[in-house]
Structure 1
Amino acid sequence: MKKLLLTLFFSIRIFASAQELPTEPAKGFAFPIGTKFTIKLHPTDSTNFDFSIIEFEPFQEIIDSWEKSKLFKEKGLDGTIEFYFCLGTHGKTEEEKQKNMKVLLVMKNRTKYALSYKSDIQTVEDGEFKETSNVGTFPNAQGTEIWPYMIQQIGLHDFAIMKQ
């Protein structure tokens, strides 16, 4: 089943990059490192969501790990989640910045829901996706996931209202 999902992610990613935005709602998509994207949730029942990609662009900047709030505008489109999947670091010297370099998934949840979701990462180019943990995302809040190693792509899927 997992290989089927991963194949689906890859296929949808290729298809999505060749089509106009917004994409058709789907259970999940994969995104390459160095991108900024916004998704819009579409309820499939009382607790689960598919999503469509409504904005997608390259983002090659290395951000300051401690100044992430500057990435997002104060106001945004309700019912969406904005993401930056990029490199981030902090430090005063170039040596400190190099030592502190991490892969970040920074998000701003502009929905009224606390959401759980599943995430899979691809650490080797053209390699298999492997499940990774995440803390979910909370209403009108910013969140960050951090990895100390390189990630080629991240697959996000199965968004649902968080169980209390």
Structure 2
Amino acid sequence: MTLLFIGISAINAQQENNQISDSIPATGYSFPLGVKLKLKLIRPENDTASYKYTIIDKEEFRDTLIVSDVKKYFSEKPEKDIIEVFFSIGYYTKPQKGGENNKMQTIMTLRNNTEKRLNYSADIVPYGKQEFENTSVTALFPNVVNTEIWPYFIPVIALYNFKN
């Protein structure tokens, strides 16, 4: 597990050196595996459907997510108009010695703290590949925790194109 996070830290450092400031509203950003984020949606002038966003909080996240337990990671008092994101490795259910569900997966779990249903797009860079490719994601419903799971290692994800 230590080697995994050393590699992620290197990706994170490289990304931070090459990326524009995440306090500038943009239509999307990319993030390394092992991160906890709070995204603030901003409606551009004269646009009634789409959003830009800023990153108001970004920190390393080293916990192994268990899908059945993800609600415990989210704020007890959600901040209005914020999307909380955890992008990490984990398991669908708590691993058991000799169990069938012990395969580690890449997991992204989000909570939409807005009053509107949101659609968005995501691109991933699967392990061993050099370029982003689109991946399917489900809509984010207001105040609902949403989880996306990939059965393989994904070191980087990009979130963009948030719309009503």
Q: Which runs of 5+ in 1 are unaligned?
A: 1-9
**1:94 to partner: Cα distance:** 4.0
Q: Do structure 1's residue 102 and structure 2's residue 105 form an aligned pair?
A: yes
Residue among 6, 14, 19 paired with 2:18: 14
CA shift in 2, pair 1:153/1:120, >3 Å: same
Q: Which residue of 1 is the match for residue 78 of structure 2? A: 76
Find the aligned partners of 2:82 and 2:17 in 1 and give their Cα distance: 19
Q: Which residue of 2 is the match for residue 54 of structure 1? A: 56
Find the aligned partners of 2:100 and 2:79 in 1 and give their Cα distance: 34
CA shift in 2, pair 1:86/1:95, >3 Å: farther
Q: Which runs of 5+ in 2 are unaligned?
A: 1-13
- The AA in structure 1 aligned to 2:135 is T
Find the aligned partners of 2:115 and 2:34 in 1 and give their Cα distance: 28
Work out whether residues 67 and 147 of structure 2, in 8 Å CA contact, stay in contact via their aligned partners in 1: no
Choose 71-80 or 138-147, whichever is displaced more: 71-80
Q: Do structure 1's residue 41 and structure 2's residue 50 form an aligned pair?
A: no
Q: TM-score normalized by structure 2?
A: 0.82
**1:63 to partner: Cα distance:** 1.9
CA shift in 2, pair 1:67/1:75, >3 Å: same
How far does the alpha carbon of each residue in 1:36-64 deviate from its partner, in whole angstroms, 9 at most, with x for none? 01100001211100000000011111122
Choose 92-101 or 42-51, whichever is displaced more: 92-101
Number of equivalences: 148
CA RMSD for the aligned pairs?
2.2
Residue among 112, 117, 124 paired with 1:114: 117
Determine what percentage of the aligned residue pairs are the same residue: 31
Q: Do structure 1's residue 140 and structure 2's residue 143 form an aligned pair?
A: yes
Work out whether residues 65 and 107 of structure 2, in 8 Å CA contact, stay in contact via their aligned partners in 1: no
Find the aligned partners of 1:86 and 1:27 in 2 and give their Cα distance: 22
Report the secondary structure of 1:36's partner residue.
Answer: strand
- The AA in structure 2 aligned to 1:59 is F
> Which 4+ stretches in 1 moved above 6 angstroms?
10-13
Q: Do structure 1's residue 160 and structure 2's residue 159 form an aligned pair?
A: no
- The AA in structure 2 aligned to 1:130 is E
**1:23 to partner: Cα distance:** 0.8
